[in-house]
DNA sequence: TATCAACACGAAAACGTTGTAGCTGAGAAT
DNA sequence: ATTCTCAGCTACAACGTTTTCGTGTTGATA
């Protein structure tokens, strides 16, 4: 096991100064051609790589992005990470991930753990618990300390920073409109409690679509699931709620605010003997593996997570590398959505 | 935007030396009670946090783990990451992720990008391309430089390091045995080309089960898919292959080496009018969202990715923190598997 | 009064880099 | 012969910590 060579050992070995080695490797014109060759050859031989940590300390930049998300076992978030990684790597940045598990406390800890010089900036989608307790001090303090944050998907209006979202309301309106256009008369929605910003917005879109089409609102057709934490563990709970929803209501169109709700609804609908899409048409939000491979394959709205990730990384890195002394104003990027028509909708 | 306070500015402000501040904050008995209080109060007020980078440089430890995986949009890998994260966080470590996208080149780049002081050790599942070109120099060089590596799932026998795997052969044997016990007479397998170690091993398990039960081997029933890269993008290609496989063979039991193969097989079987599990029983490998929510829900082998991640992190951190001068011998942990019976098998 | 321990603190080095400023010697210009 | 220029190199500070080794002051002891 050969130790990692440093400038110092190369210098000693070649009987020159540390500065000479450093400059030779960076091709400085201060150094003679002969010495340069010698140093470079030696460095290559011993596989010298500048120590990143030392550089970070000197430059006060780590070239590392901190990404904090609620959970990683989740198709949407992983596509976002892919996008972030891609752009970050292209720009020479690394990505460090922190998981909040939808917990406020863990989110704070993660933030603090990284906001001590480890990273240059954050990309974050806040935990449901954070949204529900409305305590954002950790975020504002981080920004105060000069560490930029980019929020994506689940964002907080009160915090000023760059944001990347889809236009949830508008997109949802479009989805519901499609259901209407396909002949649905009684359209339901399965959403989350309102503290989840995206759930709220998507519900608004639903409402708007009904209004525009002069369809009377029936409150019973709105099911708001309270899954403060991970809903994958509470599958039976979810099923129960949807089951009683179906028992009390007859619908021919359903808009679900995420994939899981959509396919779970499909499942209980099938148990009730409903044919999809003949008796019931369904559109989900988020295009994941589930939608793609469900039976029948689910028509969904694609949020283009990869693009969201790319865009988030782009905004963050731009801000980090912006050398203008004047602060750039904060931007909110809206990435477009698409309805991916599969087999749970007609036509 | 208040700048991050350093020991130096605290020292200047309080008119003491840097050493005093440092010691006071670490509760050294060298410092008088009064001064300690003063320093601590000030530090709290200005929200002082020791700069991690400086610490890393000094201690030659970053308290950061590098995780390199082929892709992140993949249920198994994300559960593993969850496990790694959990244990790492508990031990005060951060996790930096690199994606190889199944590409040898990207794997090498990622490794080099991090093996310059940024991380203390690696946890890695190698890319398919790496396995197929059999070029492992980047791995052995990293280990040579004193950076420990833990491999999980896709491991390389020739490289000596800690490893975390499931007993693929044994597990597969068990799965096929179950098929046999449930009355299957003609059992097929959909696997990968042999350069993927896990594909090879799982095929071996299949073979062994047949042998033990004195069932004659029919080579035609073995389908080896060549998906050198991401198979999610080549869904049609996969479907085609499976389609012609079904066309040429009649089977009543199928063991698929991963989730995607299993549910794709289900799909084409259904197209052929086969009833599952009446006409065809299927068992997949890897328990992901797809299996759980498929129709019908797929009987699978759970690899317990979370445990694999935990165990990997555990092995790595143990090695990192082992202060004995004598090297610990390398370990290979085998995490147990379970057959999760759902509705694609009888009984 | 001289010695000594205990106490409270400070100076400096080290981790690996880079950039600025300074130094040296040789040849050219005066 | 003196000054100047320039190439080619070295010294040093700085980034923020921790830690080792002082050092000065006090009060007690001989």
Give the CA-to-C1' distance from B9 to D20 in angstroms: 23
Question: Which residues on chain B are in Cβ contact (under 8 Å) with A115?
Answer: 49
Q: Do A116 and B78 touch (CB under 8 A)?
A: no
The distance (Å) linking the CA of B28 with the C1' of D30 is: 33
**Lookup result for tokens 């980019």:** A150
Structural domain includes residue B344: no
Residues A267 and A174 in one domain: yes
Pair (A197, A282) in one structural domain? yes
Structural domains of chain B, count: 3
Indicate if B199 and B270 belong to the same structural domain.
yes
Asked if B294 has any chain A CB less than 8 Å from its own CB, the reply is: yes
Which nucleotide has its C1' atom closest to residue A60's CA?
A: D15
Same domain, A173 and A293: yes
Whether residue A209 is found in the same domain as residue A131: no
Q: Which domain holds residue A246?
A: 168-302
A174 and A298 within one domain: yes
Tell me the shortest Cα–Cα distance from B104 to chain A, in angstroms. Answer: 16
With respect to residue B340, please indicate whether it lies within any of the assigned structural domains.
no
Per-residue pLDDT of chain A (347 residues), as tens digits, is: 677 899 999 999 999 999 999 999 999 999 999 999 999 999 999 999 999 999 999 999 999 999 999 999 999 999 999 999 999 999 999 999 999 999 999 999 999 999 999 999 999 999 999 999 999 999 999 999 999 999 999 999 999 999 999 999 999 999 999 999 999 999 999 999 998 889 999 999 999 999 999 999 999 999 999 876 556 667 888 999 999 999 999 999 999 999 999 999 999 999 999 999 999 999 999 999 899 989 899 999 999 999 999 999 999 999 999 977 677 899 999 999 999 999 999 97
Q: Is B347 part of the contact surface with chain A (CB cutoff 8 Å)?
A: no
Q: Is A289 on the interface with B (CB under 8 A)?
A: yes
Task: Look at residue A341 and tell me if it is in a domain.
Answer: no
Q: How far is A216 from chain B (nearest CA, A)?
A: 34
CA pair distance B1, A335, nearest whole angstrom: 30
Among candidate residues B187, B207, B210, B184, the one with its CA nearest the CA of residue B347: B184
Do A146 and A135 fall within a single domain?
Answer: yes
Inter-CA distances, A1 with B115, B143, B144, Å: 15, 8, 5
> Any idea what the CATH number is for the domain that residue B179 is in?
3.40.50.2300
Residue nearest to nucleotide C19 (CA to C1'): A19
Query: Is A347 within a domain?
Result: no
Q: Are B98 and A115 spatial neighbours (Cβ–Cβ below 8 Å)? A: no
Asked if A94's CB is within 8 angstroms of B72's CB, the reply is: no
Same domain, A29 and A115: no
B129-171 pLDDT per residue, tens: 999 999 999 999 999 999 999 999 999 999 999 999 999 999 9
Please judge whether B51 and A116 are an interchain contact, meaning their C-beta atoms are less than 8 angstroms apart. Answer: yes
Share of chain B above pLDDT 70, in %: 98
* B6 contact to strand D (CB, 7 A limit): yes
**Is B57 within the bounds of a domain?**
no
Q: Which two tokens stand for residue B236?
A: 């049609």
- B234 contacts in chain A (CB < 8 Å): none
Judgement on whether residues A140 and A185 belong to the same structural domain of the protein:
no
Tell me: do A201 and A178 sit in the same domain: yes
Q: Is the CB of B159 under 7 A from strand C?
A: no
Q: Are B172 and B298 in a shared domain? A: yes
Decide if A57 is inside a domain.
no
Maximum alpha-carbon separation in chain B: 86
A294 and A196 co-located in one domain: yes
SS3 content of chain A, % helix, strand, coil (to 5): 45, 15, 40
Note whether residue A69 is domain-resident. yes
Could you report the per-residue pLDDT of B180-192, keeping only the tens digit for each? 999 999 999 999 9
Kindly determine whether the C-beta of residue A18 is less than 7 Å away from any atom of nucleic acid strand C: yes
Report the relative pairing of strands A149-152 and A121-124 from DSSP bridges: parallel
Asked if residue A124 is part of any domain, the answer here is yes
Span B9-46, pLDDT tens digits: 999 999 999 999 999 999 999 999 999 999 999 999 99
**How far is it, in rounded angstroms, from Cα B135 to Cα B124?**
15
Substitution target in B67, B236, B289, B308 with the highest count of A β-carbons within 10 Å is B289
């Amino acid at each position: 096991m050969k130790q990692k060579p440093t400038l110092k050992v190369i210098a000693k070995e070649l009987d020159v100064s540390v500065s000479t080695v450093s400059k030779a490797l960076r091709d400085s014109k201060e150094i003679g051609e002969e010495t340069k060759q010698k140093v470079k050859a030696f460095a290559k031989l011993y596989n010298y790589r500048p120590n990143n940590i030392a550089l970070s300390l000197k430059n006060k930049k780590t070239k590392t992005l901190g990404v904090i998300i609620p959970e990683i076992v989740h198709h949407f978030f992983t596509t976002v990470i892919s996008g972030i990684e891609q752009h970050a790597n292209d720009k020479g940045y690394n990505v460090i991930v922190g998981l909040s598990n939808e917990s406020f406390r863990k989110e704070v800890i993660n933030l603090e753990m990284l906001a001590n010089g480890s990273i240059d900036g954050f990309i974050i989608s806040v935990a449901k618990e954070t949204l529900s307790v409305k305590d954002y001090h950790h975020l504002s303090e981080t920004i105060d300390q000069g560490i930029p944050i980019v929020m994506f998907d689940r964002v907080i209006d009160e915090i000023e920073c760059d944001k990347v979202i889809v236009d949830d309301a508008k997109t949802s309106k479009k989805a519901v409109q499609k259901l209407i256009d396909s002949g649905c008369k009684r359209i339901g929605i399965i959403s989350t409690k309102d503290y989840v910003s995206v759930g709220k917005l998507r519900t608004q879109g639903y409402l708007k679509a009904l209004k525009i089409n002069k369809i009377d609102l029936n409150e019973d057709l709105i099911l708001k699931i309270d899954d403060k934490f991970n809903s994958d563990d509470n599958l039976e709970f979810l099923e129960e709620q949807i089951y009683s929803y179906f028992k009390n209501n007859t619908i021919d169109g359903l808009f679900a605010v995420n994939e899981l709700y959509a396919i779970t609804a499909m499942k209980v609908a099938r148990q009730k003997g409903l044919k999809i899409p003949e008796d019931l048409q369904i559109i989900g939000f988020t295009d994941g593996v589930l939608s793609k491979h469900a039976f029948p394959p689910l028509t969904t709205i694609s949020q283009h997570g990869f693009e969201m990730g790319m865009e988030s990384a782009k905004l963050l890195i731009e801000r980090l590398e912006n050398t203008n002394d004047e602060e750039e104003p904060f931007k909110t990027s809206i990435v477009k959505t698409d309805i991916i028509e599969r087999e749970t909708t007609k036509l």
